[in-house]
Structure 1
């Protein structure tokens, strides 16, 4: 059972890895159009009324926003297709794509898209492994039977079995999140931030981030705001710690700290991993709490990030961006101070001393031989 769950997790993470570049491309394109619209004092550049605007630039910005929306609209078909691809290679792509389109049409959401990919992949795998034809007709299986039966089976299961519960779940989740206010919204942001800060790009992080991004298609923005703030706090905070207390870190970690700040600024939480590996009992609690603080502060004080962009180049497209930036700074400084205070004074020296001792022992053994 453990192996099966691990296999499914890997398939889902493969689909997510293919989906993320598409989502980022669509979101950045939309952000460009909306920043451009704000120059003209337009906050709803996506509205159809701008198709017939007398200003050619405004018409172009409206079209660009639509291009970004087209890219985001492929989110569910792509994740479904590449989960199926992970299960059964290219045989699963067509059924996965069509299944993902149906999920989008019936509003079954992100979880429905994941289910679609797994269903498509395993149906195609079942057909491939169990339908045996004479050698002269073997090519019929991958070219005809798998795409036709795989697609039909996927669509029937989605439409008549999983569609209704997943649609109800997705709609219910949307209504619940949109209905959150005040303290409840802050609690939600705190949980999302803590999840993102927990394993720094691992499964828990990705579950929170991708779910938050998927909710953007339903105009639910608070989870995304929380997630995008939390992504960048750990690497920036740990990078700052190496600046605040240079004597507590060895040369390797000081260099890693410089890289971590840069990675944080462009939205890569994995920049914190070297520190988490070196001292998980202190680093992981700091990143969980710091990310939760920053996320709760941003959402609670009214910042709204409508795009799945965590890097600095997207900060100024956020509603109430000064609050957003202050929230990032607050969470990062907490992570930095937490680690500076709890890390022993001679940690950096000890690291170097241990390294020197290991080198000396090796040389002595080599000399004796």
Structure 2
């Protein structure tokens, strides 16, 4: 059992290492497109082309994560089913958590089929035909039926629940929106909160979307700050990802936190949820407003109660950094614990 835990963690780290270039390249290109074209980037312009390229890089993020998680488990036969599972996770709106689950499923299914006793005549066909075909079919159907079908119902239920909350305490609504924005960083729960904010804007209710943007900016900013405050708790790869996360967080690209969350979900996700809840609650408490759907720092001058909004954003960022650093061990301690477990 202990060995399984270690292999799962190593698999996650492999997936993250191959995913990071897609996150950083895509996120920074999207941020530059906002800088050049404003928060409503027009297609057919240079900024629009940059946004398209960045969006394409982001589209490959979850397939890369899932594909190389599966690769770490089953070697090359795991890449195809893993990437297919990751693409399905993106298409069905399951986000990076769906991709993470899909990558693990693909890897272990491919490894299981790889270990089948087969006649020598089929041996050469196994890695190029039999394993990718069967594992892709099995994992793909699981992704679509077991994971995909319940998502729409969940999203509809969450939307209705948020509409009910919007008539109650504004601070409670800010906390819930913050938790949702940070939970899966671009996944279905995040998207429900974001879409709710847009619906409120259409009704000229501008406070919820301000809270949503603060809560969405906080995870990458908080993790970037965490790598500065306690660099001994992060690998060089994570520290480099933290440098890019400053730009993505400032641009309201919550996905900049995904490399950290995918590598250490049980410490990182609760930490960023805490910081985003603080940011969302304070934004609502201060009565901050926002009519723009996106943009991060590029639309902050458009925010009502601009100064207090920065206080909310800073508070959420600091809480995230302090909580995650309190939860994470140093790298040396983590390696020692892993060595002890494997022994």
Tell me the TM-score range normalised by the shorter chain: 0.5 to 0.7
Q: Confirm or deny that 1:89 pairs with 2:75.
A: yes
Tell me the secondary structure at the aligned position of residue 130 of structure 1: coil
CA RMSD across the alignment? 4.5
- Conserved in 2, the CA contact under 8 Å of 1:226 and 1:296? no
In the alignment, which residue of structure 1 is the partner of 2:215? 226
Q: Confirm or deny that 1:31 pairs with 2:19.
A: no
Q: Confirm or deny that 1:186 pairs with 2:174.
A: yes
In the alignment, which residue of structure 1 is the partner of 2:186? 213
- Conserved in 1, the CA contact under 8 Å of 2:86 and 2:99? yes
Change (3 A) 1:17 1:295: farther
CA distance in structure 2 between the partners assigned to 1:330 and 1:214 by the alignment: 24
Structure 1 unmatched runs, 5+: 52-58, 193-207, 241-251, 253-258, 270-285, 308-313, 337-369
How many residue pairs were aligned? 265
In the alignment, which residue of structure 2 is the partner of 1:143? 128
- Conserved in 2, the CA contact under 8 Å of 1:81 and 1:94? yes
Alignment match of 1:62 (pick from 4, 29, 48): 48
Alignment match of 1:127 (pick from 93, 96, 113): 113
Deviation of the 1:95 alpha carbon: 0.9
CA distance in structure 2 between the partners assigned to 1:98 and 1:335 by the alignment: 33
Alignment match of 1:73 (pick from 50, 55, 59): 59
Alignment match of 2:84 (pick from 78, 91, 98): 98
Tell me the secondary structure at the aligned position of residue 186 of structure 2: helix
Deviation of the 1:86 alpha carbon: 2.6
CA distance in structure 2 between the partners assigned to 1:213 and 1:18 by the alignment: 19
Deviation of the 1:150 alpha carbon: 1.6
Change (3 A) 1:26 1:323: farther
CA distance in structure 2 between the partners assigned to 1:287 and 1:162 by the alignment: 24
CA distance in structure 1 between the partners assigned to 2:108 and 2:228 by the alignment: 44
Q: Show CA shifts across 1:239-287 (max 9, x none).
A: 89xxxxxxxxxxx9xxxxxx9xx97967799xxxxxxxxxxxxxxxx99
When Rg is computed on C-alpha atoms for both structures, the one with the higher figure is 1
Deviation of the 1:124 alpha carbon: 0.4
Question: Larger RCO: Structure 1 or Structure 2 (Cα < 8 Å, ≥ 6 residues apart)?
Answer: 2
- Conserved in 1, the CA contact under 8 Å of 2:179 and 2:273? no
- The aligned runs of 1:328-343 (5 Å cut-off) are 328-330=313-315
- Conserved in 1, the CA contact under 8 Å of 2:26 and 2:58? yes
Tell me the secondary structure at the aligned position of residue 185 of structure 2: helix
Deviation of the 1:44 alpha carbon: 2.6
TM-score between both structures, scaled by the size of structure 1? 0.55
Deviation of the 1:125 alpha carbon: 0.4
